[in-house]
A and B are shown apart, each in its own frame.
Chain A
Amino acid sequence: MDYTAAQSGFRQQHNMRLRNSSVDRPDGSQLFDDTSAAVPGPEGAYRNQQAGPQAEGLPGHSFLSDPMSNLAVAYGSSLASQGREMVDKNLDRFIPISKLKYYFAVDTVYVGKKLGILVFPYMHKNWEVNYQQDIPVAPRFDVNAPDLYIPTMGFITYILVAGLALGTQNRFSPELLGVQASSALVWLIMEVLAVLLSLYLVTVNTDLTTIDLLAFSGYKYVGMIVGIVAGLLFGRPAYYLSLLWCCAAIFVFMIRTLRLKLLSEAAAEGKLVRGTRNQLRMYLTMSIAAAQPIFMYWLTYHLIR
């Protein structure tokens, strides 16, 4: 009903405009007066209709009932859903989104326990990851499983704390935040690439994926944040002490975690196994673990002065 009334209203309006334009063309003001004196609703709706189907705030009833705008809305939404499908399909090829979801399946208890282990790994007894039919259990159910939540949050917090540290020393400017962020990101990427390269060269048969390595490399941000905060609150000696403690903790954590993944069964249990292969793997584990404190110091020493 509204539809037909509006339709007929439009046609009448159109005719009226044509007539008006042919008659009143030399006199613009009269044209304006005429049309504004007439029914303002459909006229405004007609004008807006010409402007585009996405007009809003119309006083009229003609927006959604017009077939043109219906068509346009339907077309636009189908285009949008097509676009989204294409993006999803192509994105899934490069970044495995379903696998990423596993790494973010954490809860508060897990995060609390994991942070505790990262800072004090000496009491933790069982470092093995539980499996469930070949798939590692989600981090929510197993403290030893790697996750990406803590590294991501740690990275962001590190940038914020770095900005805070620079601000307390009157060295802050907004570009420095970006510099810190990209610098830390580049070091992280280089470290992961270096570990991947060395794992390839030593031909270790392991089920460590790239994302696992990213997670392990991201755990050091926790220690860095603790060090910087201690340095800000209590001065340089506190910074050095807490950084030393966190470096030792990360070293032990990495060795105990990687030992199970990289070394063969016998060597992982602590027995001395001869052979160059195991020696090489041991060296690899030690160097990966030793790189963590170096990075921790490198990325934080310029923040505490």
Chain B
Amino acid sequence: MDLVQLQRQFVDYRTSLYHEGFLDEQFTQLQELQDENNPDFVVEVVSLFFEDSERLLNELARALEQQSIDYKRIDAHVHQLKGSSSSIGAQRVQKVCIAFRNYCEEQNVEGCLKCLQQVRHEYSLVKTKLESLFQLEQQILTAGGSIPM
């Protein structure tokens, strides 16, 4: 594939992520903050999000397995996940977190378990898609091109 095709594929892919609600304008903000002084800024922040999310998802699974469920603790974890997903623009993950917090408040274990499953799913989707996006970027850079804004 030549450079122009790669760039077009990149733009189309990125646009689809916004259309499908995987990413919102906060992700655009991150891209706009990236510059020559910090050329890996977006990848760095997103990597932190991946690490943080995986840790939180494990904590959540563990917390929901307990005999006596600590909803405050679960809410604290979901609050964190909501915050970090919002900070990078992972809109679908953020939305599930909002529902999740409501179930915590109601102390509804079924609702919480359902949300955990959903948030895991949404996280896994956005992770795959962001990794694909970064891969396309890398291919463009390797081919000597620049990333379309």
Chains A and B form a bound pair: no
